[in-house]
Amino acid sequence: MNTTNHQFRLARRPVGAVQRADFDYVAEPLREPAEGEVLVRLEYVSLDPAMRGWMNESKESYMPPVAIGEVMRAIAVGRVVASNNAGFAVGDHVSGLLGVQEYAYSTGQGLTKVNPALAPLPLFLGALGMPGLTAYFGLLEVGQPKEGETVVVSGAAGAVGMVVGQIAKIKGARVVGIAGGADKCRYLVEELGFDAAIDYKSEDVGRALKQHAPNGVDVYFDNVGGDILDAVLGKLAHGARIVICGAISQYNNTTAVKGPSNYLQLLVKRATMRGVMVADYYPRAMEAITAMGGWIAAGRLKTREDVVAGLETFPDTFAKLFSGANNGKLVLKVAP
Rounded CA separation 69/26 (Å)? 10
What binding mask, one character per residue, do residues 280-299 give for a copy of itself by CB under 8 A, x or -?
x-------------------
Asked if 260 is part of the footprint of a copy of itself (rule: CB under 8 A), the reply reads yes
What binding mask, one character per residue, do residues 210-249 give for a copy of itself by CB under 8 A, x or -?
---------------x----x---x---------xxxx--
Asked if 64 is part of the footprint of a copy of itself (rule: CB under 8 A), the reply reads no
Determine the size of the site formed for a copy of itself (CB under 8 A): 34
Closer residue to a copy of itself (CB): 105 or 136 = 136
Q: Select from 174, 269, 329, 333 the one that contacts a copy of itself (CB under 8 A).
A: 269
Shortest distance, CB of residue 199 to a copy of itself, whole angstroms? Answer: 24
Rounded CA separation 262/93 (Å)? 46
Shortest distance, CB of residue 317 to a copy of itself, whole angstroms? Answer: 25
- Name residue 210's amino acid: K
Rounded CA separation 309/230 (Å)? 37
Asked if 117 is part of the footprint of a copy of itself (rule: CB under 8 A), the reply reads no
Shortest distance, CB of residue 264 to a copy of itself, whole angstroms? Answer: 6
Shortest distance, CB of residue 141 to a copy of itself, whole angstroms? Answer: 11
Q: Select from 81, 170, 266, 291 the one that contacts a copy of itself (CB under 8 A).
A: 266
Asked if 56 is part of the footprint of a copy of itself (rule: CB under 8 A), the reply reads no
What binding mask, one character per residue, do residues 160-199 give for a copy of itself by CB under 8 A, x or -?
----------------------------------------
Closer residue to a copy of itself (CB): 39 or 139 = 139
Rounded CA separation 87/110 (Å)? 12
Which residues contact a copy of itself by CB under 8 A? 60-62, 225, 230, 234, 244-247, 250, 256-277, 280
